[in-house]
Amino acid sequence: MATRVVVDPITRIEGHLRVEAMLDGGNKIQDAMSSGTMWRGIEVILQGRDPRDAWAFCERICGVCTTVHALASVRCVENSLGMQVPKNADLIRNIMFLTQMVQDHVIHFYHLHALDWVDVVSALKADPAATATLAQKVSPHWPLATEGYFRDIAGTLKKFVDSGQLGIFQNAYWGHPAYKLPPEANLMAVAHYLEALKWQKEIIKIHTVFGGKNPHPNYLVGGMASAIALQSDNAINMERLNMVSGLIDGALDIVENLYIPDLLAVASFYPEWTTYGGGLGNYMVYGDLPQNGIGDVSKFRIPRGAILNKNLNEVLPVDPADPAQVQEEIAHSWYQYPNGKTSLHPWDGVTEAKYTGPKPPYKQLDENGAYSWLKAPRWKGNAMEVGPLARMLVGFASGRTEFKEVVTAALGKLKVGPAALFSTLGRTAARGLETQLAVHWLRDEYNNLIANLKAGDTATADTRFWSPDTWKPESKGFGFTEAPRGALCHWIQIKDKKIANYQIVVPSTWNASPKDGKGQHGAYEAALIGTPMADPKRPVEILRTIHSFDPCLACASHVIGPDGEILAEVVVR
Amino acid sequence: MALPSQSTYDLLRELGVDRRTFIEYFVKLTATMGLGAAVAPQVIAALETKPRLPVIWLHGLECTCCSESFIRSSHPIAQDIVLNMISLDYDDTLQAAAGEQVEEIRRKVMKDYKGQYLLAVEGNASTKDDGVYCTVGGDSFLNILKETAADAKAIVAWGSCASHGCVQNARPNPTGAEPVKKLISGKAIVNVPGCPPIAEVMTGVLAYILTFDQLPELDRVGRPKMFYGQRIHDKCYRRPFFDAGQFVESWDDEGAKKGWCLYKMGCRGPTTYNSCSTFKWNNGVSFPIGSGHGCIGCSEENFWDNGPFYERLTNIPVPGIDSTPDTVGKTLTVLTGIGIGAHMVSQAVQRRKVAADADNDAPKGEKE
């Protein structure tokens, strides 16, 4: 008889997500439902506002990947108004983009994902001397690896546990048979959890230099507001640049000597997780990090493309501006379309909420009916996975040398073949490898900024079209980025100097989507199917696979006006 | 069940922190709070004897920027707060457990620490259609908030979502999102607005509550006076340029490169109460104005609907004052003294307005 496992809330994510998994007699997941359980309606709120303000509203879609919606939004408005941002603005945006990606991926690994693999309570049994030996072997260049250091950490942990107030660590799955790390590796991971927590607040100061604050730094349509004046004490100058450069050095250290060694060490204990959690096998990337303006896709550091059916021999072209490519379906979502339509491109974004779920409080949702506030976006009819794994695979399959180098090196260290990438662990590893690329790109982009300043270019904003009086009566545009969690695109229509329509399709909508009209599962659902569970009451395995996607459900879903008037459509990130 | 007897000091001592380090740390903390060195002994004495406070941290309609800000705190750092100062018993963003196990914790804390736990709220609740636009564990966030608030000792409303409503509450508020103060009555509520609040303001509020075992002194809209007592403009380092009539007129112009006043680019500093121009952000690195962009007023009620952000304050009515900020600005280049005078009037009016709003809106039982 089938068992239904409900996990709600899924913790250690952004936003509100529910998973229901149906197990067969052997406790293997045979079907799964991913349900976004919140929507806020940012897009309808944007209607009628000044397009130059949109970035601030959009940025509040998510405070974890703060910055990515602002970036997509300013690009969207600039595309619509025909603006060309100065080279320095692209460089500063690239630096902020990479800062965000590195910080977000490190936080995800240590603070959102690690507790799926690391048993905190087991760490109490660790021998500090043996832990020091292990740590020095895992990462010879990381200095905090002495017996005394680990003895202090163990002491901290023991006193915390003995206090009887376990806080965020209570009632978890410690001792679960799915945890495989020896006590020393667990203690090392706990220590690094705390080190990474201290460090993440440092790297993000790069956002503060250019954007004034983090979370939610400032952006600007037409460029960046942080003027550069090397002879001024009140603009981006040598002191500010030195701070950025020093923070990049710190990030290189953390990624190369903490994150990557820990990732490979933890992964080596869980080889079976290279065989579960692969899911769809379809991947899509819009690309980012322009080297010659946002219009020259061929010069992106992160290449654009799609892969179907795990076929790494072919990268298919993707165009977010082509209305034929992206369609959103609602067969299992709490919406209805007019005139019997079943799928629409975001440009035609008509949405009418129709909640047919049970009245709260409820016990379970109906997999045969609608069960989510998320729509089901599809690329040419295919359910797609987006995110770090998609980006690494598209980069690899596109023949980019740097992608091939890091992927090949990691596979070699783990002694597995490329097929291992199509898995839960492959997804988690891809995020780390991407961080490794990103932190070196961060140094490169900084160097490029300095080189451009040396060449005498200090411009940061194009103000020719700042005044709404210079705008055409009607225009439309799109703006994309590669958020930490995957491909993100905004679409805008401007009429009479105001936003006439604004639509967003975000990474977690692709990944967390419910089934479509053909019964094709979304990426989370597909990845869960086939996974065995040791103890269905303690769903560690579900958390591992769901967390490998790094869910971000902040702004789930589609929007209607106050009287049911069809206005716009949204989505989740 | 009583609170555990172990104090923060006991725990820190057991963790190997000596008394000297302990004292140095809290002298710094009191400085952060703007309390001065004289109060430090009181703080230290309190922390030597107070137990760790159980905290339930709920997430409703929000973007998690408040949690992200919280973990950026430099003094105290998040690790110290979470491991040593409070007992963060429920927080879906950081919690190791999930699903039923985590909801079980919430119910247990509500029962075991009835009337003794602090409720921290990030985000707000959808009030339309039985609250189906935000559910957790199958129940509406609205129900969960009310249930959890009932036996809380006090409530801290993190950020502009919980304090004012923020972006989902902006026109036309499609989900009927409402802040905590509109939904909960008869409880002490500390509003800590900002999108997000400054990290050290968040940890400062918690540390104050732990240290003095009382809520901070609040203004008429429930904000801690120590962090929201002054307008950003009042202490802005670019204020002399305002007074001298030197403004950025266009992005990346000469004024921008010299760091002149951003008032004409729409800066909301003159009407925004927050600590940005004093503490600054991310351990003092900068703040929006310091990096060349105007303040958007993110800690003020209804700031989303007081746009467009790049339109100078002239078009926002300031009730009770004859001259708008724009005419003040125009006059300034000639009559700086009058400008400052008008500002003082404007500030007084603004305070009266805030007070009047608070009288209209304040839920019963809210502390002044």
C-alpha neighbours within 13 Å on the C-beta side of residue A145: 18
Evaluate if residue A161 carries a pLDDT over 80: yes
**Contact, A391 vs A285, CB < 8 A?**
yes
Tell me if chain B has a CB within 8 Å of the CB of A562: yes
Paired residues of A376 in beta bridges: A329
3-class secondary structure per residue, A188-225: HHHHHHHHHHHHHHHHCHHHHHHHCCCCCCCCECCECC
Q: Which of A172, A173, A107, A508 is nearest to B67 (CA)?
A: A107
pLDDT score of B1: 38
Q: A485, A521, A558, A573: which one is catalytic?
A: A485
Q: What is the DSSP string of A85-113?
A: --HHHHHHHHHHHHHHHHHHHHHIIIIII
A219/A408 Cα distance (integer angstroms)? 37
Residues 41-100 of A with CB under 8 A from B: 41-42, 44-45, 49-50, 52-53, 56-57, 60-64, 66
pLDDT confidence of residue B12: 57
Q: Is the pLDDT of residue B157 over 70?
A: yes
Distance CA A150, CA A190 (A): 10
Q: What pLDDT is recorded for position B16?
A: 56
Q: What is the pLDDT of residue A252?
A: 98
DSSP code string of A515-573: --TT----HHHHHHTT-B-S-TTS-HHHHHHHHHT--B-TT-S--B-TTS-B-------
A139 as an active site residue: the answer is no
pLDDT digits (tens, 9 = 90+) for A192-214: 999 999 999 999 999 999 999 99
Could you tell me which chain A residue has the CA closest to the CA of B127? A40
- Of residues B8 and B65, more confidence is placed in B65
The yes-or-no answer on residue A489 being catalytic is no
Domain boundaries, chain B: 8-216, 232-357
The answer to whether A163 and B54 have CB atoms below 8 angstroms apart is no
User: Which residues in A lie closer than 8 A to residue B61 (C-beta atoms)?
Assistant: 38, 40
Nearest to B252 among A210, A460, A538 (CB): A460
Minimal CA–CA distance to A384: which of A516, A291, A263?
A516
Portion of chain A with pLDDT greater than 90, in percent: 84
pLDDT (tens digit per residue) in A291-311: 999 999 999 999 999 999 999
Residue A442 confidence (pLDDT) above 50: yes
Over residues A130-156, the mean pLDDT reads 97
What is the pLDDT at residue A119? 96
pLDDT for B46: 55
pLDDT digits (tens, 9 = 90+) for A176-185: 999 999 999 9
Answer whether B101 sits within 8 Å of A8, measured CB to CB: no
Q: In which element (H, E) is residue B178 found?
A: strand B177-178
Residue B209 structure tokens: 């509550």
Beta strands in A164-319 (DSSP E): 283-285, 305-307
Residue A327 lies in a domain: yes
Contact A252, A440 (CB under 8 A): yes
Q: Active site includes A14?
A: yes
Q: Which of B98, B286, B307 sits opposite A212 (nearest CB)?
A: B286
The residue from A12, A35, A59, A65 that is catalytic is A65
- Which A-chain residues 203-222 have CB contacts (< 8 A) with chain B? 204-205, 207-218, 220, 222
* CA terminus-to-terminus distance, chain A: 36
Residue of B nearest to A173 (CA): B97
- The values of phi and psi at residue A297, to 5°, are -65, -30
Instruction: Give the integer Cα–Cα distance in Å for B264 and B247.
Output: 7
Please provide the average confidence, as pLDDT, over all residues in chain B.
Answer: 82
Question: What topology is assigned to B232-357 in CATH?
Answer: Cytochrome-c3 Hydrogenase; Chain A, domain 2 (4.10.480)
Mean pLDDT of B117-145: 95
Q: What is the pLDDT of residue A15?
A: 85
Asked whether residue A560 is domain-assigned, the answer is no
Residue A561 within a domain: no
Residue contact A11–B83, C-beta within 8 A: no
Fold identical between B8-216 and B232-357? Answer: no
Q: Which secondary-structure segment (H or E) carries B326?
A: helix B325-332
Gap between the terminal Cα atoms of chain B: 31
Range of the domain at A541: 3-548
User: Taking residues B166-184, what's their average pLDDT?
Assistant: 96
Q: How many domains does chain A have?
A: 1
For residues B14 and B162, the model is more confident at B162
- Residue A304 half-sphere exposure toward CB, CA atoms < 13 A: 19
pLDDT digits (tens, 9 = 90+) for A218-263: 999 999 999 999 999 999 999 999 999 999 999 999 999 999 999 9
Q: Report the CATH number of the B8-216 domain.
A: 3.40.50.700
**Taking a C-beta distance cutoff of 8 angstroms, is the pair B34, B78 a contact?**
no
Question: Are B291 and A461 inside 8 Å of each other by CB?
Answer: no
Instruction: Give residue A423's pLDDT band: very low, low, confident or very high (50, 70, 90).
Output: very high
A345 given a catalytic annotation: no
- At A140-150, the pLDDT tens digits run 999 999 999 99
pLDDT for B24 = 65
Q: Is-catalytic flag, A76?
A: no
More confident residue, A536 or A348: A536
DSSP lists the bridge partners of residue A494 as A475, A499
| Type of residue numbered A206 | I
Which residue, A310, A306, A312, is CA-closest to A326?
A306
Q: How is A459-492 classified by DSSP, letter by letter?
A: --B--TT-SGGGS-SEEEEEEEEEETTEEEEEEE
Lowest mean pLDDT among A158-172, A276-290, B235-249: A158-172
Does the pLDDT of residue A566 top 80, yes or no?
Answer: no
Among B21-25, B249-253, B320-324, the minimum mean pLDDT is found in: B320-324
- pLDDT tens, residue by residue, B286-335: 999 999 999 999 999 999 999 899 998 865 444 334 444 444 444 443 33
Please report, for the domain that includes residue A126, its CATH number: 1.10.645.10
Q: Is the pLDDT of residue A555 over 60?
A: no
Q: Give me the residue from B4, B61, B66 closest to A38, CB to CB.
A: B61
Q: What is the pLDDT of residues A385-406, one digit of tens each?
A: 999 999 999 999 999 999 999 9
B-facing residues of A in 450-469 (CB < 8 A) are 458-461, 463, 466
Residues of B in contact with A16 (CB under 8 A): 59, 134-136
Nearest residue on chain B to A222, judged by CA atoms?
B251
pLDDT of A344 over the 90 cut = no
Which DSSP symbol is given to B83?
I
Q: How far apart are CA A265 and CA A117, in angstroms?
A: 11
A143-150 contacts, C-beta under 8 A, 24 or more apart: A144/A191, A144/A195, A149/A191, A150/A126, A150/A187, A150/A188, A150/A191
pLDDT category at B356 given cuts 50, 70, 90 is very low
Across the range A100-108, mean pLDDT stands at: 97
Q: Name the residue among A454, A110, A381 with its Cα closest to residue B96.
A: A110
User: Judging by DSSP bridges, how do beta strands B177-178 and B125-126 pair with one another?
Assistant: antiparallel
Q: What is the pLDDT of residue B355?
A: 46
Tokens matching residue A473:
């009566």
Residue-averaged pLDDT of chain A? 92
Q: Token digits for B85?
A: 């100062």
pLDDT of residue B313: 81
Question: How many other C-beta atoms lie within 10 A of the C-beta of residue A455?
Answer: 9
Q: Which one-letter amino acid corresponds to residue B313? A: L
Task: Label residue B36 by pLDDT band (50, 70, 90).
Answer: low
Asked if the structure places residue A568 within a domain, the reply is: no
Q: Which helix (H) or strand (E) holds B166?
A: none
Distance CA A149, CA A130 (A): 12
- Band of residue B56 on the pLDDT scale cut at 50, 70, 90: very high
pLDDT digits (tens, 9 = 90+) for A483-522: 999 999 999 999 999 999 998 999 999 999 999 999 999 9
Question: What integer pLDDT is reported at residue A554 of this predicted model?
Answer: 67
pTM: 0.89
Query: Which residues in chain A are closer than 8 Å to B289, comparing Cβ atoms?
Result: 212
Helix axes A424-454, A401-414, angle to 10 degrees: 140
Query: CB contact, 8 Å: A113 with chain B?
Result: no
pLDDT band at A325 (very low <50, low <70, confident <90, very high): very high
ipTM confidence: 0.93
Residue predicted with more confidence, A544 or B364:
A544
What CA–CA distance (Å, rounded) separates A504 from A492?
Answer: 9
> In this complex, is the C-beta atom of A160 within 8 Å of any C-beta atom belonging to chain B?
yes
Assign A42 to helix, strand or coil: helix
B267: which 2 tokens?
């800066």
